[in-house]
Amino acid sequence: MRTRNSVTTLSQFVANEQAKYPTATGNLSKIFRDIKFAAKLVNRDVNKAGLVDIIGEHGSTNIQGEEVKKLDVIANNEFIWSLSAGGDCCAIISEEEDYVRHLNPDAKYVVAMDPLDGSSNIDVNAAIGTIFSIYKRVTPVGTPATEEDCLQTGENQIAAGYVIYGSSTMLVYTTGSGVNGFTLDMSIGDFCLSHPDMKTPEQGKIYSINEGNFKEFSSGIQKYVDSCKEKRMSARYIGSMVADFHRNLIKGGIFMYPATHSAPKGKLRLMYECNPMAFLTEQAGGKATTGDVRIMEVKPNELHERVPVIMGSAGMVEECLSCL
């Protein structure tokens, strides 16, 4: 049984990892500090939903034409404020904004984020989350960041992760050396290592897809979904990518948001959702694909580009691909 004296906090863990690299400057560790602080702010706000006027519609739409929730705006502002104050980002791109937000030109990191994933679940008190990824800029330090810095393939991510606000609040991340999960301990106000070296099972018994779109799926996806039913697998789909992904990461399963006739590029955004989750999937031993190519090899052409998604336990993804 782990005692309090043996607890490893997120800050300690990141510092220990940084110490393995003599040339590390500490800037990446500071970005994690800023993400952690913003996540605690959002966690506070999520826990107040229903007590104060932060649920419901904001009265505006985002760049994708979707109704914006009040908490979407709050979470976006809190993450931008924390990352801006830290001074270690040259730019932020957010699912909630249609432009590159320029920050410190002397910084060398770009953060891409979905500040509040699954916001349609806010009003019904279901699990929601934050997704983020970090890239190193490719243009010279000291100059304003450009779209070239932001529109990099997922293979160039140096870190990615998510925060899930559920029965407990967890931060799960990778820097390319495995996946580790940290649970927020409110008694000390910090994230503590609770899920070291997370690995997703090779096979699972859960499939996550919006079957309401079944008639719009390709025949290959329909064939695979029917196969899951024939095997008496469990259908689990909550409408929050973070929640569905987190469950499948731990228990084994496949998450799919494929192309449909009305949305041939799928629904999920490459930069804010698909790339970071693909990085985590692969680091945990799973696979992530569009159905045609590995997600992290897709070259983005625009900030809000969408791609189809099939990711999760390697054996299940491979079986799905065989149907396609």
> Mean pLDDT, to the nearest integer, of 19-46?
90
E runs forming strands in 101-210:
101-102, 109-117, 128-136, 157-165, 169-174, 179-185, 190-195, 206-208
C-alpha distances in Å from residue 27, one per residue of 30, 34, 235: 5, 11, 42
Q: Which helix (H) or strand (E) holds 106?
A: none
Q: Which helix (H) or strand (E) holds 44?
A: helix 27-48
* pLDDT of amino acid 17: 87
> Mean pLDDT, to the nearest integer, of 242-268?
96
For the record, the structure tokens of 181 come out as 């999960």
Check whether residue 249 and residue 274 sit in a common domain: yes
Strands of 179-185's sheet in order across: 101-102, 89-94, 109-117, 128-136, 157-165, 169-174, 179-185, 190-195
Check whether residue 140 and residue 289 sit in a common domain: no
32 lies in some domain: yes
For the record, the structure tokens of 90 come out as 């040259």
The total domain count for the chain is: 2
Q: How far does Cα 237 stand from its chain's mean position? A: 17
CATH of the domain at 214: 3.40.190.80
Task: Establish how many alpha carbons lie within 13 A of residue 134's alpha carbon, considering only the half-sphere containing its beta carbon.
Answer: 24
Check whether residue 253 and residue 109 sit in a common domain: no
Q: Which of 311, 253, 316, 247 is nearest to 279 (CA)?
A: 311
| pLDDT tens digits, 159-202 | 999 999 988 999 999 999 999 999 999 999 999 999 999 999 99
Check whether residue 227 and residue 158 sit in a common domain: no
C-alpha distances in Å from residue 309, one per residue of 133, 160, 176: 17, 17, 21
Q: Name the domain boundary from 157, 173, 195.
A: 195
Check whether residue 14 and residue 62 sit in a common domain: yes
Q: Which domain holds residue 166?
A: 4-195
Q: Name the domain boundary from 195, 227, 255.
A: 195
Check whether residue 85 and residue 228 sit in a common domain: no
18 lies in some domain: yes
228 lies in some domain: yes
Report the chain's mean pLDDT, rounded to a whole number.
92
Residue of higher predicted confidence among 57 and 85: 85
Among 1-5, 141-145, 268-272, the minimum mean pLDDT is found in 1-5
What proportion of the chain, given as a percentage, has pLDDT over 70? 92
CB 228 within 8 A of CB 209: no
For the record, the structure tokens of 295 come out as 């997600």
Position 169: which residue type? T
Check whether residue 168 and residue 312 sit in a common domain: no
C-alpha distances in Å from residue 127, one per residue of 21, 46, 92, 190, 239: 36, 10, 25, 20, 9
CATH of the domain at 187: 3.30.540.10
201 lies in some domain: no
Q: Name the domain boundary from 144, 176, 195.
A: 195
Instruction: Provide the sign of the torsion angle of the four alpha carbons 98, 172, 308, 109, taken in this order.
Output: positive
275 lies in some domain: yes
254 lies in some domain: yes
Check whether residue 162 and residue 217 sit in a common domain: no
φ, ψ of residue 83 in degrees (nearest 5): -70, -35
| pLDDT tens digits, 256-309 | 999 999 999 999 999 999 999 999 999 999 999 999 999 999 999 999 999 999
200 lies in some domain: no
Check whether residue 210 and residue 191 sit in a common domain: no
C-beta neighbour count of 63 within 10 angstroms: 14
Residue 231 scores a pLDDT above 70:
yes
Check whether residue 191 and residue 215 sit in a common domain: no
117 lies in some domain: yes
Check whether residue 45 and residue 116 sit in a common domain: yes
Check whether residue 132 and residue 234 sit in a common domain: no
